[in-house]
Amino acid sequence: MSDETVQFFKSRYVEETQAESVNPCPVAICTPMYNSEPFLEKYLQAILQLNYPRDLLSLNFTVQGDDRTFDILKEFKSEFSHMYRGIRIEKIALITDEYLPHIQNVVHCRNLLAKWTAPDPVFFIDHDNFPPPETLKKLLQDLQTGASIAAGVYLFYKRDRKRPDLPGMMNFTAFFLINGEMGAAGLNSSGMEGVLPEEIFTKQLWVDAVAMGSTLMTRKILDEHQFIVPEGRIMSDDTAYCLQAGRTGHRFIADFNLLIPHWGYDIHFTSLEGSGLVHLKASISENMSQRRQKMHEDGIYITEIALKPKADDIQEKFHSACLFHRNGEIDKAEDLCRRILDKMPDHADTVQLLGCILFQRGIINEGIVHLSRSTELSPENPLFFNNLGMALKESGQIEESIAIFRRALDLRPDSAEIHHNLGSAFQALGRLKAAASCYGQALDIEPDHFLSHKALSDINLPGEDYISILTRIHSWLKPATYLEVGVQSGRSLTLAQPPTIALGIDPEPRITHEFNAFTKIYPMTSDAFFESHNPQKEMDNQAIKLAFIDGLHLFEQVLKDFINIEKNMLKQSVILIHDCLPLDERTSARTRGTKFWSGDPWKMILCLKKYRPDLRVSAIKTPPTGLGIVTNLDPGSTVLQENFDKIISDFIPLDFNHLKQNYDTTLNAAPNDWTWIRRQMEGAKTI
């Protein structure tokens, strides 16, 4: 390490004035997982060993790549969810664009995780980084100095592709500026060992950028800045984020007291007495070496991509235009497209992009002209025909769009997206049978195609969606008390209006809406709530007048919630149950395998018809998956409770095939008609 670098570091030491202890606060741990099975055991051990109150931690994972990672995390959640404030695991589709797909996926997942976890600060941990137990508390202390991001420094392995004869070297992911040029704190020696000044090794340092491998971030910086795909090819998304945020006054600390172990490394530090230096030696496992080599060969890492030969100037500018467009900088994207076309008028990709931009701006005719021309320049590109079809459909030229979508399918018959778009054109013309056929073909190709599931739902259950119906019910009924199981973001709970007293129950509430009525949130399971609380006492000693069950999408839990709620209601009260009209077998399975998923609450309709004929039970045909409505209640009934075990054994084995012959009759399907719905609740107006 040069004297200039050492002196620069000395000028940036953080004065250690922070408190010796820190008051713990809620923190969201977030990790984008990608083919992470080799790291998971060690990663999860590191999470479990963090010295921090677990009831203040939520764990949040996006999963891409191998299914085994998803399965292991689900097992972990099942085993440890009771110890944490919440555990969320979501499978995310891979972005497969040619331009920096690895970076695009990381950026997309980081932004999703940041959005999900508001309003908590976020502790980003890479899937192959393993923070020491004191890391989180230490980084929280670092934030008290005024930093927006505090990062544990971790080592990574970098091979010089220009010198393949060298074994590679260790680098730190702490970035700095000297004389206006960016550099990284490295060991300045080839191989896997070197020395660094002890005074650096034991300090916190103000830096211009840090890597997100083990990083605690304030909510303020997350709210103000999104992660972006960098425009250049030699800058990581981490560095781009910090430089962007730094321009608005945010500061970053690299904490050299926290050197984070990295998967596959065996790292040893030895103080060289009397020298003021620390000797660092690292070895790398054979498994790690092979994995890294494979990823380099595949061009996954940005450091590798940076060393590849540059594309021609036109293609490079086109990629920049795409990035401007993706990041919402439409003016820059359009200007760059026009400059490209000045030099190369027949650059098909740019003609296509400019057409999309113009259409997006509302310059419809010119946009369609460019989109049409792109198909002439590249007549074998199904994407171009698909985009032209979408533009024609949205501009009202639906018959023309159908012909174009069919041309796209001639070129790419295995595209679920194009089949779906053709279906949407048929649906716009009212040709619902043809539309449903197209959506079915899309789902044959891609069984988890959410938009096709949603479109089929809209065909099967036309009219106002369940949120609109709930809005009408609250507005008309004006219940004195309202209880909701399954709050999530608070979207439906916010429909309660003063003077209603509202209670929301959810073990992992992620409130993003402002409530209108007086509202209490209970962050626990519904079983735990009814065991430890009397809902009537929580509502100023009033019975529940309206309830909405939308928690776990499993029949047995809906049954338990119904039993617990009914005993706290009046005869004239109303219980609403979401997801009582399933779409198909796959989306109504008990185990979630699709984004569009209702589970098996529909069995509650069958159960109540058999065991509680005294109730009035219907399922309103409102999208996306129906809304059960139950009236004429009997708070004193114990029938369901007394027959609980038999009910479970009778109904759990049923699947969607049970509904195929007489769907509407079996589920007491009722019209999505407000006049009809209102009549079912007339008695509730009297309480």
| DSSP sequence for 173-209 | EEEEEETTEEEEEE--SSBSEEEEEHHHHTSEEEESE
* pLDDT tens column, 646-676: 999 999 999 999 998 899 999 999 999 999 9
pLDDT of residue 551: 94
Mean pLDDT of 416-442: 96
pLDDT of residue 61: 95
Average pLDDT across the chain, whole number: 86
Is 60 exceeded by the pLDDT of residue 165?
no
Question: What angle in degrees, to the nearest 10, is found between the helix axes of 330-343 and 313-326?
Answer: 160
Q: How confident is the model at residue 309 (pLDDT cuts 50, 70, 90)?
A: very low
* pLDDT tens column, 468-500: 999 999 999 999 999 999 998 999 999 999 999
Helix intervals (H) in 117-180? 135-143
Question: Of 163-167, 505-509, 653-657, which gets the smallest average pLDDT?
Answer: 163-167
DSSP 549: E
pLDDT of residue 285: 62
Is 70 exceeded by the pLDDT of residue 305?
no
pLDDT of residue 457: 97
pLDDT of residue 143: 87
Its pTM stands at 0.57
Alpha-carbon gap, residue 406 to 262, rounded angstroms: 50
Is 60 exceeded by the pLDDT of residue 116?
yes
- pLDDT greater at residue 668 or residue 685: 668
pLDDT of residue 310: 37
Question: Of 63-77, 533-547, 599-613, which gets the smallest average pLDDT?
Answer: 63-77
Alpha-carbon gap, residue 420 to 401, rounded angstroms: 13
Question: Of 90-94, 157-161, 450-454, which gets the smallest average pLDDT?
Answer: 157-161
Is 60 exceeded by the pLDDT of residue 459?
yes
pLDDT of residue 289: 63
Alpha-carbon gap, residue 196 to 2, rounded angstroms: 10
Mean pLDDT of 132-141: 89
Is 60 exceeded by the pLDDT of residue 170?
no
pLDDT of residue 19: 44
Sign of the CA dihedral running 579, 583, 589, 592: negative
Q: How confident is the model at residue 36 (pLDDT cuts 50, 70, 90)?
A: confident
Is 90 exceeded by the pLDDT of residue 463?
yes
Verify cis geometry, omega within 30 degrees of 0, for the bond prior to 230.
no
Category of 459 on φ-ψ map: left (φ > 0), alpha (ψ -120 to 50) or beta: alpha
Alpha-carbon gap, residue 268 to 399, rounded angstroms: 69
pLDDT of residue 294: 63
pLDDT of residue 97: 65
Share of the chain above pLDDT 70, in %: 82
- pLDDT greater at residue 82 or residue 500: 500
Share of the chain above pLDDT 90, in %: 59
- Cα–Cα distances (Å) from 525 to 446, 508, 531, in that order, read 34, 9, 10
Give the chain's radius of gyration (CA, Å).
29
φ/ψ of 569, rounded to 5, equals: -120, 180
To which residue do tokens 């695009």 refer? 104
Alpha-carbon gap, residue 32 to 50, rounded angstroms: 19
